[in-house]
Amino acid sequence: MTAEIPSGPEAAFRDAVAAWERALGQRYVLTESADVAPYARCTLPLQRKIAAVLRPHTVAEVQEIARIATTFGQPIHPVSTGRNWGYGTACPVRDNVTVVDLQRMNRIIEVNEELAYTVIEPGVSQRQLADHLRSNRIPLWMDPTGASPTCSVLGNTLERGFGITPYSDHFLATCGLEVVLPTGELLKTGFWHIPEAKTKHLFKWGLGPYLDGLFTQSNLGIVTKLGLWLMPVPEHFEAFYFKVESDRDLEAVIEPVRTLRQQGVATSPVNFLSRVRVVTLLHGYPWEAMGANSNYAIPEALQQRLGQQTNTGAWNVSGALYGTREQVRAAKHAIRRTLPKEARQLLFLSEERLRLISRFKAIAGRLTGYDMDVILGLLRKSFGIMRGQPSEVSMPTAYWRNRHVKPIPSMDPAADSCGLIWFSPIVPFSIEDIKAANALGKELFEKHGFDYCPTMTAVSGRCLDCTLPILYNKQDKEEAVRAERCYEALLDGFINAGYPPYRVPVTAMNGVVKSGDSFWETVGKIKAAVDPSNILAPGRYSP
């Protein structure tokens, strides 16, 4: 008994299900609505109909799934762990698609300590990889994202996500993909397809055309294994923090920070968190103070008041230094002499120093008047992320407009009906562009009645990856519609201003895949060549 009735010919779907059941065993083909429903949960204002869910355990099963999908013309949508919160969670771009959940494929195939890489399957979570390295005393760090430790490493990499260590650009750190093509064939990229090669996970480009990029942000193949470079643990590590008190003071630090990135003093991303973003991380939404206005953005004065409790500036900047003790010392000197006076309360934090502060937190709290437990909790977690330890430090933001906030370790924004849409434009690393982008963001968020709480991340010395979450109450229909309109306005507005996003939710494909653009036409030609039946994630970053 199938709970969902597909819009295509029912018989073909039933035949496909029967064939999938033969291939995987009935237990791993979910068609009951109660089993399928969790996969449709999503933080976007979206109600997706999912046809069925397949849960393969091996590459051969994934190949068989693809072959059956092609034979019966059934669209399938692969997810690694299905936690792409704010971009669509596990939801396909269209209705009546079968989700292929790769979570059971969660083997860490190899870790090479000497040459600093791993080979992993889609189901390997951030925590699993970090724990594996730590418990086996392997002196390598993974690069965590700000999302949950339960999220897939491979999934984030294929979405071209970013972390915060020097290995922050996850796709850049890949070396060798194993891919099931829509027709069921198995492709290995780089040197991996040469069986004898000992350099499969050592040299990125291989020989001949470099194909790996085709399998990121696309619908051209199902990646079943990934070679990923890991960072050798450095001799020394220190985080640094400072804040600026106004947007004008922000302008004064832009070029100095750019210089530090371009000159390789800061070898990892530098984060600029707006005051309200910090507030969403540390405090719940001020429902009481907002009273009848709680459908709308909190006013400036309240932002200030909430920020004051935890010593929050207009912008709160953090980064980290990695290297030998002497290199880190040299970098600290360069930072001290490069940053202007507008960079306030510059703090360098080594592990030893964090321990010291923790010991004297009572005194520090009394002297400063700040809530040291909250500040230290955040410091410790952001510190961990910079050192290869995933944590839930960023998760509370997703619960900002949710009246039922869960304890952090059990947070699951999709299951808990949080309303979150990520808008993530790339902005040039120049004062003018940063000013223009923030003015535009502020205007559009205000217009749609949402809190503007950006983080800008200096992913290189050339540009910033901005994350502007639209935080809304998903239970409130009016608010959900407003959130959708807000996203559309942001997408249009930022593209027109010159700042297109690096990644979009499943609901935004029509807004970015334009006809008459030879880029998307070329993608379409390649799609037709490798997926002639158009069964793989139709419409996903493709015409």
Task: For 260-273, give the DSSP string.
Answer: HHHTTSS-S-EEEE
Q: Which CA distances in Å does 333 have to 327, 328, 338? A: 10, 9, 8
Please select the residue that binds its own copies; options are 62, 220, 222, 228, rule is CB under 8 A: 220
The nearest distance, CB 527 to its own copies, in angstroms, is: 9
Instruction: Give whichever of 4 and 178 is closer to its own copies, judged by the CB atom.
Output: 178
| Ranges assigned E (strand) in 311-403 | 315-323, 344-349
Chain positions 301 to 330 lying near its own copies, rule: CB under 8 A, are 322-324, 326-327, 329-330
Q: By the 8 A CB rule, do 299 and 290 touch? A: no
Q: Per rule CB under 8 A, is residue 107 in the interface with its own copies? A: no
Our CB check for its own copies shows the closer of 188 and 243 to be 188
Which is nearer to its own copies, 31 or 189 (by Cβ)? Answer: 189
Give yes or no for residue 352 binding its own copies (CB under 8 A): no
Asked if 526 touches its own copies (CB under 8 A), the answer is yes
Cβ-based nearer residue to its own copies, 381 or 503: 503
Residue 214 touching its own copies (CB under 8 A): yes
Other CB atoms within a 10 A radius of the CB of residue 136 amount to 11
Binding of its own copies at residue 417 (CB under 8 A)? no
* Identity at 227, one-letter amino acid code: G
In the numeric block, the tokens 């860490």 are attached to 108
Grouping H, G, I as helix, E, B as strand and the rest as coil, residue 483 is: helix
List, in sequence order, the alpha helices (H) in 104-152. 126-135
- How big is the chain, counted in residues? 543
Name the residue among 241, 416, 427 with its Cα closest to residue 344: 241
User: In this complex, which beta carbon is closest to its own copies, that of residue 2 or of residue 430?
Assistant: 430
* Cβ 543 vs Cβ 526: under 8 Å: no
72 lies in the binding site for its own copies (CB under 8 A):
no
- Contact with its own copies (CB under 8 A) among 13, 117, 315, 399: 117
In the complex with its own copies, which residue's Cβ is closer, 37 or 346? 346
Residue from 42, 151, 239, 265 that binds its own copies (CB under 8 A)? 265
Name the token pair of 457: 């991340």
Question: Which C-beta is closer to its own copies: that of 182 or that of 313?
Answer: 182
* x-marked contacts with its own copies along 439-478 as a string, rule CB under 8 A: ---------------------xxxx---------------
- Residues numbered 503-522 forming contacts with its own copies, rule: CB under 8 A: 503-504, 512-513, 517-522
CA distance 542 to 519: 10
Residues in region 226-255 near its own copies by CB under 8 A: 229, 232, 234-235
Give the three-state DSSP class for 48.
coil
Separation between Cα atoms, residue 323 and residue 446, nearest integer Å: 43
Residues 166-195 that bind its own copies (CB under 8 A): 166, 171, 181, 185-189, 191, 193-194
